[in-house]
């Protein structure tokens, strides 16, 4: 089984190759590429690999640019540092996707899925799907929120926000200075408007940034309790179903 790895982070590539060999020693990694340009040249001069591991964000741009220059019919397992919700809707023409840092069990499950589907035909990613993918990953996020206090309007930069939270059917943001302001958007909407690498939805009530977290404590039922800066709530809990994703987000 010929496997091609496209990953521009040397340590991440070495770890992925090691895990691939651990999952199935019969797999041969034929090459490791680190750029869009190198990948395009490789596909122009080589037969399609049996399986392609493709990092979405490469040093010289977005990996989806590769499909504009060469046709790829190999089954693909995407790798990405993006939150899973960013690409959940775009699993067409791919076997699976893996969130970084890549977990052995997740990789094993993806390879098992590939083995099951190995006999099926895989088509090149079509233009419509490619445009959807590019639009998704080219998304720009909100840089500031405008709030109203009395007759005054305040424009608050996102980098000056520690966390968002909902309370009594209202949504608030809290600044790095400990000031809170009500905003017009529900928390679900706020989550879609801000960069998922900078904020994480730990529960229905809280959407937090990494700098806001002062401490993390083990809690009952495999949950985590967070101590947030300038927050008097002693019950800021990472829900059990989100703990694994939260740890992955912290480890990026």
Q: For residue range 196-220, what is the model confidence (pLDDT) as tens digits?
A: 889 999 999 999 999 999 999 998 8
Residue 42 has a pLDDT of 97
CB 160 within 8 A of CB 212: no
Is the model's pLDDT at 132 over the cut of 70?
no
Q: Can you give the pTM of this predicted structure? A: 0.54
What is the total residue count of the chain?
252
Selecting from 3.30.360.10, 3.40.50.2300, 3.40.1160.10, 3.90.1520.10, what CATH number does the domain 2-137 have? Answer: 3.40.50.2300
User: Are 2-137 and 144-250 the same fold in CATH?
Assistant: no
Write down the H helix ranges in 123-204. 127-137, 187-193
Residue 78 has a pLDDT of 87
> Residue 183 is encoded by which pair of tokens?
């905003």
Q: How many CB atoms lie within 10 A of CB 217?
A: 9
Selecting from 2.40.50.40, 1.20.1050.10, 3.40.50.10490, 2.60.120.560, what CATH number does the domain 144-250 have? Answer: 2.40.50.40
The pLDDT > 90 percentage for the chain reads: 51
Q: For residue range 13-54, what is the model confidence (pLDDT) as tens digits?
A: 999 999 999 999 999 999 999 999 999 999 999 999 999 999
Cβ burial, residue 98 (10 Å; 0-12/13-18/19+)? buried
Q: For residue range 93-129, what is the model confidence (pLDDT) as tens digits?
A: 577 778 778 889 989 999 998 988 886 666 666 555 5
Query: What ranges do the domains of the chain cover?
Result: 2-137, 144-250
The stretch 125-150 carries a mean pLDDT of: 70
CB 192 within 8 A of CB 175: no
């Amino acid at each position: 089984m010929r496997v091609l790895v496209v990953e521009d982070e040397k340590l991440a590539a070495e770890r992925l190759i090691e895990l691939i060999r651990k999952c199935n020693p019969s797999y041969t990694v034929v090459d490791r590429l680190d750029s869009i340009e190198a990948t395009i040249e490789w596909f122009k001069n080589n037969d399609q690999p049996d399986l392609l591991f493709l990092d979405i964000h490469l040093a010289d741009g977005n990996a989806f640019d590769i499909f504009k220059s060469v046709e790829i019919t190999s089954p693909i397992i995407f790798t990405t540092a993006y939150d899973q919700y960013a690409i959940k809707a775009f699993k067409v023409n791919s076997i699976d996707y893996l969130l970084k840092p890549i977990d052995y069990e997740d990789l094993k499950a993806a390879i098992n899925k590939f083995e099951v589907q190995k006999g099926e035909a895989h088509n090149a990613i079509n233009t419509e799907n490619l445009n959807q993918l590019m639009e998704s990953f080219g998304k720009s996020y909100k840089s500031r929120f405008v709030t109203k206090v009395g007759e005054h309007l305040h424009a608050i930069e996102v980098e000056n926000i520690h966390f968002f939270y909902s309370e009594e059917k209202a949504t608030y943001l809290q600044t790095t200075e400990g000031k809170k302001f009500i905003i017009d958007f529900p928390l679900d909407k706020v989550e879609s408007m801000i960069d998922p690498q900078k904020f994480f939805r730990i529960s229905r009530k809280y959407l937090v940034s990494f700098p806001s977290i002062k401490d993390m404590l083990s809690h009952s039922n495999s949950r985590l309790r967070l101590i947030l800066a300038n927050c008097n709530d002693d019950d800021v809990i990472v829900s059990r179903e989100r703990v694994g994703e939260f740890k992955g987000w912290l480890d990026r």
